[in-house]
C-alpha cells in the first residue's frame, strides 16, 4: 500500500445534531493581546459563534469562518499553535474521482503492480482476479472523505452532496494533519506495509483521537455546525469494497486512537509530541501499546533458492513485511477467528515477531512468493501455520496431494500451489502456479 493513500483516508465519526448558530457568549477581546495565541485564529476565538447557513453548503466567507474557528478549537484541544493559514477546498465525489483519473495520465485505471499483487495474495486478501492497485483504488474512491496534502499545504474535503458542504469531523481531522505538519513535519517515508500502517497508527491515530475529542465537546460544550446528510448516491457505498482489504486499511484509524490515548495517559501531550520523533515501527506496537517502543520486530532475510526459470523482481526493497495487523485481517477475512473485527487481536496473529514476503516471477508472466515469518514461541508459530492451512482448505477448497503441500483449485481466485513448513518458531510458505514450481521458486533445504 502506498502511504499517501492511507494518509488520504479518514473515517468520519458519528456526531450529534446541534444548532448552526450561537456560541458560549464569548467575552474575549476581539484580538488577543500580544498577537496570536492558543485558541484564537484569524479573528475567531474557539468559543465564538459563526454566522453560517449549512443547508445550501458553505460559501467562501462562511468556510473561512468555520475553518478559523475549527483551527482555534483544535489549538485549545491539542495545546499546539497553528503557524500559518490552511487553505480548504470542497469538491464533489465526482470531481474527486475525475481528479484521481487525471493523476493516472488518462489511464483506464491505476498502474498494475505485480510485485504488490503477490504480497496481497500471500495474505489471501486480494486474489488473481483483481490487481492490488485496482482494489485499493476502488476502496479509496468510495471511502475518502478528505485529505491533507503536505506538499501543497492544503486540505481538500469531499462533499457528501453536490453542494459544497463540510463535515465538521472531516474538517477537524484534516486540520489536525495540517497542525502535525506545521509542528513536526509529515514528510515521512516507510518501506514496508507494516511500517506504513504503524506510522499511520500514530499520525492517523492522533487525528482520529483529536477528532473524537472535538466531537465530544460538540456534544457537551460547544455550538457546532450541523453535519450534512449524505445523498443517496453519495460515495457509492461499501458493498463492492473488498472487506479483507478494508480491514487492513482501516486499522490505523481504529487501533491508532487507542494507541495515542494510551501514550497520552502515560505522558500527556508531550508524549504524543514525541511520537513524531519516533513512530511505532510495527503494527504490533500500535495494537499492543505496552510493547512500544521496546519490543522491536525481528529483521528477517530470505535466501534466494530459485532456479533459472524464476527470479525476484527488480524492486527496492526486495521483500515486504506485512505485520500483525494484516495477518489478523487474513485470519478474520478467512474465518479463522471469531474475534471482534476491530480488535485486531486473534490467537493466530498474536505472537508475531517478524516476517518477510519476497515476490517472484517467471518469464511467462507467472507469479509466486516466499513468505517467512517468525513468532514469539513454537506454539504461536504452530497456531498461525495451522490457521493458514485451514484457510486454504476450508475457504478456498484446497486439496493436499502430499505432506505440507496444498493445491487451490481454479474455482478460487487464489488458484495456486502452496508448501507450508514450520521449524520451531519459524513458518515458511512457498507459493507458485503449480506444485512443480514450488521447488523451482524455493528449493527445500
- Which residue ranges make up each domain of the chain? 3-285, 310-441
pLDDT at 8 over 50: no
367 φ, ψ to 5°? -130, 160
Give the pLDDT mean for 246-265.
Answer: 97
Contact 336, 390 (CB under 8 A): yes
pTM of the model: 0.90
CATH classification code of 310-441 = 3.40.1000
- Show the CA angle centred on residue 191, arms to residues 341 and 119, nearest 5°: 55
- pLDDT above 70: percentage of residues in the chain: 89
211 φ, ψ to 5°? -60, -40
pLDDT at 238 over 60: no
- pLDDT above 90: percentage of residues in the chain: 76
CA-wise closest residue to 168 among 236, 99, 90: 90
CB atoms within 10 A of CB 384: 28
CA-wise closest residue to 72 among 283, 214, 167: 214
What is the model's pLDDT at position 142? Answer: 78
What is the model's pLDDT at position 219? Answer: 85
CB atoms within 10 A of CB 10: 27
Give the residue, 227 or 27, on which the prediction is more confident.
227
Contact 224, 218 (CB under 8 A): yes
**Which three cell numbers, joined as nine digits, stand for 175?**
486540520
Tens of pLDDT, residues 290-301: 999 999 999 999
Give the pLDDT mean for 48-57.
Answer: 88
Tens of pLDDT, residues 425-444: 999 999 999 999 999 999 99
CB atoms within 10 A of CB 100: 15
What is the model's pLDDT at position 36? Answer: 82
252 φ, ψ to 5°? -60, -30
**Which three cell numbers, joined as nine digits, stand for 336?**
479463522
> Which residue stretches of 43-125 are H helix?
60-78, 93-102, 114-122
The span from the CA of 211 to the CA of 77, in Å, is 10
Give the pLDDT mean for 368-380.
Answer: 98
> Poorest-confidence range of 160-164, 394-398, 402-406?
160-164
15 φ, ψ to 5°? -125, 165
pLDDT at 9 over 60: no
The pairing of beta strand 146-149 with beta strand 88-92: unpaired
pLDDT at 303 over 70: yes
**Which three cell numbers, joined as nine digits, stand for 274?**
514525541
Give the pLDDT mean for 32-50.
Answer: 89
What is the model's pLDDT at position 316? Answer: 94
pLDDT band at 131 (very low <50, low <70, confident <90, very high): very high
Give the residue, 224 or 109, on which the prediction is more confident.
224
CA-wise closest residue to 181 among 82, 41, 88, 68: 82
The H helix count followed by the E strand count for the chain is: 14, 12
What is the model's pLDDT at position 85? Answer: 95
What is the model's pLDDT at position 434? Answer: 98
Place of cell 518501506: 191
What is the model's pLDDT at position 139? Answer: 86
State whether the Cα torsion 112-118-120-121 is positive or negative.
positive
Tens of pLDDT, residues 164-195: 889 999 999 999 999 999 999 997 789 999 99
What is the model's pLDDT at position 228? Answer: 80
pLDDT at 26 over 60: no
Tens of pLDDT, residues 194-231: 999 999 999 999 999 999 999 999 988 999 998 887 55
Give the residue, 106 or 436, on which the prediction is more confident.
436
| Side-chain half-sphere exposure of 436, counting CA atoms within 13 A | 1
Give the pLDDT mean for 17-33.
Answer: 51
What is the model's pLDDT at position 2? Answer: 32
CB atoms within 10 A of CB 413: 15
Amino acid at each position: 500500500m502506498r502511504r499517501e493513500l492511507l494518509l488520504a483516508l479518514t473515517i468520519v465519526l458519528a456526531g450529534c445534531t446541534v444548532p448552526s448558530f450561537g456560541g458560549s457568549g464569548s467575552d474575549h477581546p476581539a484580538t488577543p493581546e500580544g498577537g496570536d495565541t492558543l485558541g484564537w485564529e484569524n479573528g475567531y476565538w474557539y468559543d465564538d459563534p459563526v454566522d453560517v447557513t449549512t443547508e445550501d453548503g458553505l460559501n467562501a466567507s462562511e468556510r473561512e469562518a468555520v475553518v478559523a474557528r475549527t483551527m482555534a478549537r483544535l489549538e485549545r484541544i491539542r495545546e499546539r499553535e497553528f503557524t500559518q493559514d490552511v487553505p480548504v477546498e470542497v469538491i464533489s465525489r465526482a470531481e474527486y474521482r475525475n481528479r484521481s483519473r487525471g493523476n493516472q495520465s488518462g489511464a483506464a485505471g491505476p498502474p498494475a503492480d505485480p510485485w504488490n499483487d503477490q504480497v496481497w495474495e500471500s495474505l489471501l486478501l486480494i486474489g488473481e482476479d483483481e490487481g492490488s492497485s485496482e482494489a485499493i483504488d476502488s476502496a479509496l474512491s468510495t471511502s475518502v472523505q478528505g485529505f491533507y496534502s503536505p506538499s501543497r499545504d492544503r486540505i481538500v474535503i469531499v462533499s457528501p452532496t453536490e453542494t459544497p458542504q463540510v463535515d465538521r469531523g472531516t474538517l477537524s481531522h484534516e486540520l489536525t494533519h495540517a497542525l502535525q505538519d506545521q509542528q513536526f513535519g509529515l514528510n515521512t517515508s516507510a518501506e514496508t506495509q507494516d511500517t506504513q500502517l504503524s506510522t499511520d497508527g500514530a499520525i492517523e491515530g492522533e487525528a482520529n483521537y483529536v477528532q473524537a475529542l472535538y466531537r465530544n465537546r460538540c456534544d457537551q460544550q460547544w455550538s457546532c455546525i450541523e453535519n450534512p446528510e449524505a445523498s443517496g448516491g453519495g460515495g457509492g457505498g461499501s458493498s463492492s469494497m473488498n472487506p479483507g482489504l478494508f480491514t487492513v486499511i482501516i486499522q490505523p484509524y481504529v487501533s491508532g486512537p487507542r494507541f495515542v490515548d494510551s501514550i497520552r495517559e502515560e505522558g500527556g501531550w508531550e508524549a504524543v509530541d514525541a511520537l513524531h520523533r519516533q513512530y511505532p515501527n510495527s503494527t504490533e506496537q500500535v495494537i499492543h501499546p505496552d510493547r512500544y517502543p521496546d519490543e522491536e520486530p525481528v529483521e528477517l532475510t530470505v535466501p534466494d533458492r530459485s532456479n533459472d526459470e524464476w527470479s525476484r523482481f527488480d524492486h527496492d526493497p526486495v521483500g515486504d513485511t506485512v505485520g500483525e495487523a494484516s495477518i489478523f485481517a487474513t485470519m478474520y477475512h478467512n474465518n479463522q477467528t471469531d474475534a471482534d473485527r476491530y480488535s485486531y487481536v486473534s490467537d493466530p496473529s498474536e505472537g508475531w515477531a517478524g516476517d518477510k514476503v519476497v515476490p517472484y516471477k517467471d518469464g511467462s508472466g507467472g507469479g509466486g512468493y516466499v513468505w517467512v515469518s517468525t513468532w514469539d514461541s513454537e506454539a504461536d508459530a504452530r497456531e498461525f501455520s495451522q490457521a493458514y492451512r485451514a484457510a486454504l482448505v476450508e475457504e478456498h477448497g484446497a486439496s493436499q496431494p502430499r505432506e505440507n503441500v496444498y493445491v487451490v483449485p481454479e474455482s478460487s481466485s487464489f488458484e495456486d500451489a502452496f508448501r507450508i513448513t514450520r521449524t520451531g518458531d519459524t513458518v515458511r510458505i512457498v507459493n507458485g502456479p503449480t506444485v512443480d514450481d514450488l521447488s523451482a521458486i524455493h528449493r527445500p533445504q
